Chain A
Amino acid sequence: MAKKSAGPSIDELVTQALVRIATADAPQRLTGKGDPAPLFASAAGANKAALERLQNEAEPLVVTTGSGKAAPVRLTAAGFALALPHLPPESVGGAAKALAATFHLAERVEFLQEIVSRSPDSTAELYSVQEIAGAELQAETEARVAKAVKRREADDRWKSLIELQRKQRIDALTRELEAEGGKVPPPAANNAPPERTREPHSEPLVPKTAADVGYHRQVVRRLVSSWAQQWDHGKHEGRQAMETALGGMTGMRRIGSAGETVAFDGAVHESGRAVSEGERVKVVRPGWQLIEEEGPLTLLKTRVE
């Protein structure tokens, strides 16, 4: 008797569902009855595991856009990224465009950048969307900055007013006391309440909990990996943008500058040839370290020759 062939794996079920959502013209439902047919006929067996994976709380691949069991779903950025290698190239742009519209501005810009870097054929189709999103993001940022400036000016005026009123009150009381024949006591230096110092706003935010530290490391590792890719491909603009982002991350330190001559230190340098410690070498690609409380964490060694 012929052996019954095994059904699709959970990964395959998940991928099939993601691709269907990405390429469908109408909203799709995970389960339930009615038209159009749901993505999964039932929520039992392998489908159950696939549904759990799709709606995993830690990293959902889809989110519902309504309420009830039969609510339609849309992809998350993570879901789209997973479906991307399986999508026909001609449908990537359209699908990404539609999905991008459901994201907030900053998320939209990041999502589109990711899609274009992974699927260069979609650049033309996504250019205008990215342009608009970039402009909107810029405008939003500028509006926020203007609002902050306005608020700070109002704060300053308020402080000046309070100070002026305080001085006027002291003057009035002093005059009243002198009129009564009293003497104004000298200011008691030691009794004055200590001036409260405030942490400067420029103090970097340091991740404190183990989860924060882990997340911070994960983010910087991925950024450094993408930076190295931009460097290796000679994409200067992308590289500079990532350097700006990396420079703004707490604790990031760049090791070396391209063209600089340094003494070889195997702990932070790597070379394609046998090099002795201390030998003079030229930096061809800088490296990155994350400075933490326990010491440096080398994320990328500096490449030298």
Chain B
Amino acid sequence: MADRVFCIDLGSAFTKVGLRRGRRANSDLVTDSRLTTLDDLRLCLPTTVAIDFSSTPAKPIFGDAALDRRPGKTMRVFANWKKELFAEAARSEALPVASQTAPPPRTPSRLESLLNSNEFLHFATRYGVAPTDVASLQKLLSSAATILAPPPAAGSVVMTTADSDAFKVAVLFFRHLRRVVLEVCRAGKIDIPNPELIPARLSVPAFAPEKDLSSHRGCRWLVEAMQRAEWTPVDHRPIVSEPYANAIGVLTRGSNCTREKEMLQNGLLATCLSEPKTHPEYRAVVIDVGAFTVDFAALTYRPEGQRTLNEVEFERHELSVPLGVSELDAAVLGILPHRQVAYLRDQASANDWMAFRPRVYSERQFFPTPHGEICSGDDVKGIGYAIQNYADRLSEQTAAFFSTFPDASFKELILTGGGNTIPAIQDALISAAEAGREKFRKVHLPAVGIAGMQRKGTSQQPVAVLDGRLTRGATALGGSGSFFDMDREPYPLPTA
């Protein structure tokens, strides 16, 4: 077991880093103005990379400076290179695809493009068609197109890392990340000797069962990019799935104590471990609503006799679906007037979007733009429809995920990710998750909106409010925890 570990939570939009300074030291998040000055916690390094080709050699741009960059003749912006990397890696070899794996993106037909266009939405609005009906039509066509689409021609174009722009960007990004993280560690704020010797663990979407992640082609590419950037992967479990690390982060709050009661914050799992006869099963579910994906993870543990935390291994069911908050953004843009859409799409900065979402989606307050206020007039109803429609889509996915556990009862529900700061989303997810089954014994939720309003629990269902650190950083925190080391079965990288 490595004494010290970094965990890189490589998000599509923002990357977070967790650090365990010693064998039993608590994990913490790496925060500093060197990572970002846009986020209150100085935690989320933008994952976007821009490449400026106006000089030779081309100059990569990272961090806050890469956000809000406009692409042009001499500027290329990689806003979601992680997705591109996984798609390109999938083309590098015909791999058996796990049932949970999201299929590679399909090129939409012209008819789909029409139905998804703003012009069509304006047209529908003019004829009084509700946005929910338009969304249903879009979904119907999309489902039909998916069924009728020919099977993907696996391996028709073979990619290698040398051909992949996304891979090259990944190497540049990991190099920048390493430089910044080491600078922060050396600047005295973290005060840790020889940070360059600390190995790193990477969290990735739940593409495959935990033990198969290290042989997943996309994950291998990411680890190779990390290694080229001089990061050393942890021997024991170099890759963990995001939902699993997220759940451990929330349940332990970064504690790495030897006694499970302390590590698990005296939670229900700790009770289950100490009284296995009275509590024969523990089950928690995590739903992380991120920028581009929604990750579900159900963790089940059945203690057979007294066990220590070292021996605990959860049964896991995980699923990632491409239904992040960017889908809601697109739906809301579909109902706004053209000039406001143009402003939000082409002029609004990352800062504006960071203010827009909590204000409009969470607090339902007006948001000023040079072309009038959003969410203050006729658009209030439409935005409400869009949020409800998005919440309904999330509910469907949640119900589908829970239908794989028809008779099971769950103890805890953990909602994380930026999308879960929207009250309507919280309500929808809790209702869908509890439909037809026993209520959760405890719910973990982020605070709502800029003002950080906190939901009240009841004596039957207490609510644990997650602060910004846990809402955004639980995966990095959990991934750097000793939980993934200890005496568990190792899932090392396959030898070349």
A297 touches B37 (CB 8 A): yes
- Complex CA distance for A224 and B376, rounded to whole angstroms: 19
The stretch of A37-45, A96-104, A174-182, A268-276 that contacts the partner chain: A268-276
State whether A266 touches B370 (Cβ < 8 A): no
Q: Mark the stretch among A125-133, A165-173, A196-204, A228-236 that contacts chain B.
A: A228-236
Given known pairs A270-B68, A289-B37, A301-B68, the reply for A233 and B366 (CB within 8 Å) is: no
Q: Is the CB of A295 within 8 A of B37?
A: yes
B66 located at the interface, meaning its Cβ lies under 8 Å from any Cβ of chain A in the complex? yes
Chain A residues touching B, range: 35 or more
Produce 1/0 per residue, B209-246, CB < 8 A to A.
Answer: 00000000000000000000000000000000000000
B113 CB to nearest A CB, Å: 26
Among listed A17-25, A61-69, A214-222, interface-contacting one: A214-222
Q: A59-B451, A276-B52 are in contact. Are A85 and B380 (CB under 8 A)?
A: yes
Most buried by B among A118, A270, A275: A270
| Chain A interface main SS type | mixed
Contact partner of A266 (CB less than 8 A), chosen from B66, B373, B380, is B66
B132 to chain A, nearest CB (A): 15
Q: Smallest distance from the beta carbon of B354 to chain A beta carbons, Å?
A: 9
Instruction: Pick the contact of B65: A222, A229, A265 (CB < 8 A).
Output: A265
Q: Please report the total number of B residues contacting A with Cβ < 8 Å.
A: 46
What is the distance, in angstroms, from B249's C-beta to the closest C-beta of chain A? Answer: 20
Contact in complex: B61, A277 (CB < 8 Å): yes
Q: How far is A58 from B368 in the complex, measured between Cα atoms in Å?
A: 25
Is the pair A298, B64 in contact by a Cβ cutoff of 8 Å? yes
> Which residues of B are found within 8 Å of A118, using beta-carbon distances?
366, 373, 376
The answer to whether B69 touches A59, judged by C-beta atoms less than 8 angstroms apart, is no
Q: Does B1 contact A (CB under 8 A)?
A: no
Q: Which residues of A contact B72 (CB under 8 A)?
A: 273-274
Q: B residues within 8 A CB of A85? A: 366, 376-377, 380
Q: Which residue of A lies closest to B68 (CB)?
A: A270
CA distance A104 to B44 in the complex (A): 41
Q: Is A281 engaged at the interface, CB distance under 8 Å to the other chain?
A: no
Known A-B contacts A276-B54, A276-B55, A277-B61; the reply to A298 vs B74 at CB < 8 A is no
- Over the window 6-28 of chain A, the binary record of Cβ atoms lying under 8 Å from chain B Cβ atoms (1 yes, 0 no) is 00000100000000000000000
B248 to chain A, nearest CB (A): 25
Q: Which residue of A lies closest to B42 (CB)?
A: A294
Query: Is B33 located at the chain interface by the 8 A CB criterion?
Result: yes
In the complex, what distance in Å separates the CA atom of A217 from the CA atom of B376? 24
**Any chain B CB within 8 A of the CB of A207?**
no
Q: Which of B40, B42, B355 contacts A225 (CB 8 A)?
A: B355
Instruction: Tell me which residues from 361 to 375 in chain B have a Cβ below 8 Å from any Cβ of chain A.
Output: 364-366, 368-370, 373
Given contacts A218-B450, A228-B368, contact A277 B52 (CB under 8 A): yes
- A49-65 contacts to B, CB under 8 A, are 58-59
List, in ascending order, chain B residues with CB within 8 A of A298's CB: 37-38, 64, 351
A118 to B365 Cα, complex, angstroms: 11
Interface members, chain A 259-305 (any B CB < 8 Å): 265-268, 270-277, 289, 294-301
0 or 1 for each of B46-64: is its CB under 8 Å from A? (1 = yes): 0000101011000101011
In the complex the two chains form, is A297's CB within 8 Å of B40's CB? Answer: yes
- Does B70 have its Cβ within 8 Å of any Cβ on chain A? yes
Cα of A295 to Cα of B40 in the assembled complex, Å: 10
User: How many angstroms from the CA of A289 to the CA of B37 in the assembled complex?
Assistant: 9
- The reply to whether A267 and B65 form a contact with Cβ atoms under 8 Å apart is yes
| A277, B65: Cβ atoms closer than 8 Å | yes
Report which of B351, B365, B377 forms a contact with A301, defined as CB distance below 8 A. Answer: B351
Once A289-B37, A294-B32, A297-B40 are accepted as A-B contacts, the answer to whether A274 and B68 lie under 8 Å apart by CB is no
Segment 334-371 of B: residues with Cβ below 8 Å from A:
346-347, 349, 351, 355, 364-366, 368-370
The answer to whether A296 touches B33, judged by C-beta atoms less than 8 angstroms apart, is yes
7 contacting pairs across A/B (C-beta < 8 A): A11-B364, A85-B380, A118-B366, A229-B369, A229-B370, A294-B31, A297-B42
Q: A-side interface residues toward B, CB under 8 Å?
A: 11, 58-59, 81, 85, 118, 214, 217-218, 221-222, 225-226, 228-229, 232-233, 265-268, 270-277, 289, 294-301
